[in-house]
Amino acid sequence: MVISVSKLSISIVSHLQGTMVKALLQDLDRFCRGYPLEVILTLNLPELLEFDLSGFHFPVVLQRNSIPKGFGANHNQAFGMASGDLFCVLNPDIRVSADPFPSLIACLSDPTVGVIAPLVLSAEGAVEDSARRFPTPLKILCKALGGCKGIDYPITSHELLPDWVGGMFLLFRRTVYQQMGGFDQRYFLYYEDVDLCARLFLSGYKVVLSPRAQVAHHAQRASRRRVQYFLWHLQSMIRFFLSPVFLQVIGRKVRKALI
């Protein structure tokens, strides 16, 4: 299977992050010129953008929300406006210094791949733990008590097949995103990426991380500083652990281990 890309649609959601959005759009304008693309920019909170949206080689479709939406709802809304045959979920705090898409798109030529992500580095160049095994209550407790440290998957030059990848940069074929129904909008913030990767796993798709594509993540880590974000994180965690998706994933993993 060879993918013929007529257009790549990129969804970016801003929460008063206009400065970061401008820098990211400038990166895309500078480095990503190998194929047609469009950006759907959602302003989840009222803000004044201090730059010209027409100043890029790609169109930027602006969506202003009258009421703030959750992570999944915003990107699902953008997907409904997108016209590309590939759909990319991209955080505004991501920066690129080279075009990450060619190797990612090549990987999507494999019809068994449901989602592909690049290697995510911190602003200082350290590898972030964006590829992980599915969480469990026991593992969460272990981390809370100061254990279970380190990354789940050692990074090499080869593609990884992790359980799930972080939602700061995800690339899908349009048909797959549509088949899965996008993100579960019952997750307002956090764990929507875990849930979607779990549903891809249950549907027989692979989740892939390609170290050949690299991006920098200027992470905010709001859940570690603000009570509301911590509560959203906790609420989403509980929702996932009580969901049929989690129970099916654990059952599938246990059966596979016993074979």
Is residue 87's pLDDT more than 70?
yes
Is residue 144's pLDDT more than 90?
no
Start-to-end CA distance of the chain, whole Å, equals 31
Is residue 220's pLDDT more than 80?
no
Whole-number pLDDT of residue 223: 45
Average pLDDT value for residue range 104-123: 96
Is residue 1's pLDDT more than 80?
no
Task: Map out the domains of the chain as residue ranges.
Answer: 8-258
Closest CA to 159 of 207, 222, 219: 207
Provide the CA 201 distance to its chain's centre, in angstroms: 16
Average pLDDT value for residue range 194-202: 98
The three state secondary structure string of the chain is CCCCCCCEEEEEEECCCHHHHHHHHHHHHHHCCCCCEEEEEEECCCCCCCCCCCCCCCCEEEEECCCCCCHHHHHHHHHHHCCCCEEEEECCCEECCCCCHHHHHHHCCCCCEEEEEEEEEECCCCECCCEECCCCHHHHHHHHCCCCCCCCCCCCCCCECCCEECCCEEEEEHHHHHHHCCCCCCCCCCCHHHHHHHHHHHCCCEEEEEEEEEEEECCCCHHHCCHHHHHHHHHHHHHHHCCHHHHHHHHHHHHHHHC
Q: Please give the mean pLDDT across all residues of the chain.
A: 93
Q: What is the pLDDT of residues 12-65, one digit of tens each?
A: 999 999 999 999 999 999 999 988 999 999 999 999 999 999 999 999 999 999
Task: Domain 8-258: give its CATH code.
Answer: 3.90.550.10
Whole-number pLDDT of residue 227: 87
Model pTM?
Answer: 0.93
Q: What is the pLDDT of residues 154-165, one digit of tens each?
A: 888 899 999 999
User: Confidence class of residue 225 from pLDDT cuts 50, 70 and 90?
Assistant: low
Whole-number pLDDT of residue 148: 82
Spatial distance between the Cα atoms of 245 and 247, rounded to a whole number of angstroms: 6
Is residue 80's pLDDT more than 90?
yes
Question: For residue 18, what are its two tokens?
Answer: 């206009």
